[in-house]
Chain A
Amino acid sequence: MIVVNTEYIPGYRIVELRGLVQGNTVRAKHLGRDIAAGLKNLVGGELRGYTELLTESRREAMQRMIQQAEQLGANAIVNVRFSTSAVTQGAAEMYVYGTAVVVHPEQPPQTAQPVEPETPQA
């Protein structure tokens, strides 16, 4: 599955459009992370717990989107966008969407070169 946030993929031709695919996840942070974040807010720096939360939810949303694309028989997703929204205080949604397409390589890569000179048999 090729996933890009551009409208096309260089070296590939879009032959079929399979429609919009999307994935979302709503994640709540837990108290431990809140306490750690509260302490970190005194001295500054990266909030690792929240970064992880973001990474996890983004991965899961993307996985769901890719699953949908697979079900539609697509082999690529183009023009992917992210969006988040606060559902309540303490939970946020991560939403990712894109267009599922079928792509074919324009030319087979140069790896396919059967160069096997015939060795004369002694």
Chain B
Amino acid sequence: MVELLCTLATVVVLLVLGFSVGSWTEAHHFHSIALRHQRLQHMLVSDLPNFPYAVPSSMPPQMLVGEVVVASDYFKSFAASLRNLVGGRVQSYERMLERARQEATLRVLEQAHALGYNAVCNLRIESVDVGGNTAPGRMPMASVLAFGTAYVAQLPQSSPAPASAHDAS
């Protein structure tokens, strides 16, 4: 009897802990993703294979890779296992995958920005296997690999007129 109560209490504590900390972490992460996206708004991102608006540059294009593994929390896993009884949409896992994708993409963009590129093309986002975790019954997690080619681009309307053209002697 006591043992059963102990087990139940542990589960409840883990559920509360998973819900509170997990929700907070997720909200914090989504907030940080929004902020970083805003900072990198000027970058031209596409999954086109043909370098839109590329301009000649001394820096050759370069492939950049970003990866991240995001874990689920106890509450989400529990809710998902309940959902498994009736089927349907598992929103908590949708958000987990969304977080991982956004984070991996941002890591590519941030590297490109740091190296002085302003565009990324042919961006691919893949789910990958880390340490054989796709086997059934393993921990739920989202592992994502994003990669794309960074290059230097210039949009036509924002191209400044050459300074020498305005030479009024």
On chain B, the residues within 8 Å of A11 by CB distance are 54, 56-57, 60
B98 close to chain A: CB less than 8 A:
no
B91 close to chain A: CB less than 8 A:
no
Q: Is the interface of A mostly helix, strand, loop or mixed?
A: mixed
On chain A, the residues within 8 Å of B70 by CB distance are 44-47
B115 CB, min distance to chain A CBs, angstroms: 13
> For chain A residues 1-51, which have a beta carbon within 8 Å of chain B?
2-7, 9-12, 27-29, 33, 37-38, 40-47, 50-51
When the two chains form their complex, are residues A29 and B69 in contact, meaning their CB atoms are under 8 A apart?
Answer: no
Q: Is the interface of B mostly helix, strand, loop or mixed?
A: mixed
When the two chains form their complex, are residues B63 and A37 in contact, meaning their CB atoms are under 8 A apart?
Answer: no
When the two chains form their complex, are residues B131 and A29 in contact, meaning their CB atoms are under 8 A apart?
Answer: yes
Stretch from B36-44, B142-150, B158-166 that touches the partner: B142-150
When the two chains form their complex, are residues B149 and A4 in contact, meaning their CB atoms are under 8 A apart?
Answer: yes
On chain A, the residues within 8 Å of B29 by CB distance are 45
On chain A, the residues within 8 Å of B141 by CB distance are 37, 41, 47, 50
Give the complex CA separation of A86 and B143 in angstroms: 13
Using known A-B contacts A4-B149, A27-B131, A86-B132, determine if residue A43 contacts B63 with beta carbons closer than 8 Å: no
When the two chains form their complex, are residues A47 and B71 in contact, meaning their CB atoms are under 8 A apart?
Answer: yes
When the two chains form their complex, are residues A41 and B71 in contact, meaning their CB atoms are under 8 A apart?
Answer: yes
Which residue among B50, B67, B143 has the maximum number of chain A CB atoms within 10 Å of its CB?
B67
Using known A-B contacts A38-B139, A50-B69, A58-B65, determine if residue A29 contacts B25 with beta carbons closer than 8 Å: no
Residues of A within 8 A of B (CB): 2-7, 9-12, 27-29, 33, 37-38, 40-47, 50-51, 53-55, 58, 80, 82, 84-94, 107, 109-111
Residues of B within 8 A of A (CB): 14, 17-18, 21-22, 25-26, 29, 49-51, 54, 56-58, 60-63, 65, 67-74, 76-77, 96, 103, 121-122, 124, 126, 128-135, 138-141, 143, 145, 147-149, 151
- Apart from A11-B56, A84-B128, A85-B129, list 19 A-B contacts with CB within 8 A: A2-B62, A5-B63, A5-B148, A6-B149, A27-B131, A38-B139, A40-B71, A41-B140, A41-B141, A42-B18, A43-B21, A43-B73, A44-B21, A50-B141, A55-B67, A58-B67, A82-B126, A84-B145, A92-B132
